[in-house]
């Protein structure tokens, strides 16, 4: 109820009071009228208080509604971003699955290749100049054992096979001196070996009384004349870096004439 309504009610009661005064019972009726007006004013004040309270509640509810709307909009934006992330992750997952499938296919193809490479390396060593045979044949055996291991990835298997090939390649570019056992005419003797790449593999007995060279064509050891012993001794010191590099005389098989 607004102020205009309250003024109208008050005016009505004033007119009622004046009318009662005109009939002669003005004292009692005036008191009753005043009480009635006061009660009406109190009722109007309470009504206005309820209206104001309701207005405040409405304002508060409107604020809460707007806050909830903002939270809903934020949640929608967040859900949209999360969905984009999920879509991106699903795409990456699909790509990983494809890579795994491709890797499995490549693994099926590369395994036979690696086995052939090991077989070729084994055959090459057996036909090559017979230096460090224990070390080299053991390397091949280790590669064969590795191929049966499920805990070694195909990439690591291939890397180790290539490493073995690289080692064999390096043998052709280096000189080396080492001591090992040699079977000569059914007798095993400790000798010093001198290797010049794959060009020449020679030995000198520890007492320096005998020297020999590997004949790749006949695949056997040939005893060398005594004049080669000093050259082999010098070559052993050079290979062990006990003396400066120098020219030495070594026996090398002459190339065959082409037919």
As a whole-number percent, the residues of the chain with pLDDT over 90 amount to 47
Structure tokens at 120: 């070729």
User: Do residues 233 and 185 both lie within one domain?
Assistant: yes
Q: Cβ distance 144 to 121 under 8 Å?
A: no
The beta strand positions in 159-225, using DSSP E, are 175-184, 187-196, 200-205, 211-215, 220-223
Domain membership of residue 79 (yes or no) is no
143 band by pLDDT with thresholds 50, 70 and 90: very high
User: Do residues 53 and 14 both lie within one domain?
Assistant: yes
Range of the domain at 181: 175-239
Domain membership of residue 69 (yes or no) is no
Q: Is the pLDDT of residue 222 over 70?
A: yes
More confident residue, 70 or 256: 70
Total-model pTM = 0.58
Spatial distance between the Cα atoms of 21 and 27, rounded to a whole number of angstroms: 8
Q: Is the pLDDT of residue 3 over 60?
A: no
Q: Is the pLDDT of residue 52 over 80?
A: no
For range 151-166, the mean pLDDT: 94
For range 51-70, the mean pLDDT: 79
User: Do residues 114 and 140 both lie within one domain?
Assistant: yes
User: Do residues 151 and 193 both lie within one domain?
Assistant: no
Domain membership of residue 257 (yes or no) is no
With 0-12 CB in 10 A as exposed, 13-18 as middle and 19+ as buried, what is 195?
buried
Domain membership of residue 226 (yes or no) is yes
The predicted structure's pLDDT at residue 134: 94
The predicted structure's pLDDT at residue 258: 47
User: Do residues 161 and 198 both lie within one domain?
Assistant: no
User: Do residues 190 and 163 both lie within one domain?
Assistant: no
Q: Cβ distance 157 to 145 under 8 Å?
A: no
Question: What backbone torsions phi and psi does residue 195 show, to the nearest 5 degrees?
Answer: -115, 125
Give the number of domains in the chain: 3
The predicted structure's pLDDT at residue 16: 52
Strands 220-223 and 211-215: antiparallel
Q: Is the pLDDT of residue 164 over 80?
A: yes
Q: Which residues pair with 222 in a beta bridge?
A: 213
User: Do residues 111 and 150 both lie within one domain?
Assistant: yes
Query: Which of 156, 171, 186 is the endpoint of a domain?
Result: 171
3-state secondary structure of 24: coil
Mean pLDDT lowest for which of 63-67, 84-88, 136-140, 220-224? 84-88
The predicted structure's pLDDT at residue 6: 52
The predicted structure's pLDDT at residue 4: 47
For range 38-59, the mean pLDDT: 78
Q: How high does pLDDT run on average in the chain?
A: 82
């Amino acid at each position: 109820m607004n102020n205009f309504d309250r003024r109208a009610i008050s005016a009505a009661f004033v007119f009622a009071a004046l009318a009662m005064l005109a009939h002669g019972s003005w004292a009692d009726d005036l008191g009753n009228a005043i009480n009635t007006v006061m009660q009406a004013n109190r009722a109007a004040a309470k009504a206005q208080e309820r209206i104001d309270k309701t207005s405040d509640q409405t304002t508060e509810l409107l604020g809460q509604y707007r806050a909830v709307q903002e939270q809903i909009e934020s949640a929608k934006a967040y859900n949209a971003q999360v969905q984009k992330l999920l879509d991106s992750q699903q795409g990456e997952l699909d790509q990983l699955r494809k890579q795994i499938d491709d890797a499995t296919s490549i693994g099926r193809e590369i395994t036979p290749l690696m086995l052939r490479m090991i077989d070729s390396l084994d055959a090459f060593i057996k036909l090559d100049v017979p230096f460090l045979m224990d070390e080299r044949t053991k390397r091949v055996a280790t590669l064969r054992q590795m191929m049966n291991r499920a805990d070694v990835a195909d990439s690591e298997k291939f890397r180790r096979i290539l490493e073995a090939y690289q080692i064999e390649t390096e043998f052709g570019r280096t000189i080396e001196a080492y001591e090992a056992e040699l079977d000569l005419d059914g007798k095993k003797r400790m000798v010093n070996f001198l290797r010049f790449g794959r060009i020449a593999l020679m030995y000198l007995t520890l007492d320096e009384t005998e020297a020999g060279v590997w004949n790749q064509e006949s695949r056997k050891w040939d005893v060398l004349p005594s004049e080669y012993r000093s050259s082999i001794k010098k070559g052993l010191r050079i290979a062990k870096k006990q003396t400066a590099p120098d020219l030495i005389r070594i026996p090398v098989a002459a190339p065959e004439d082409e037919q």
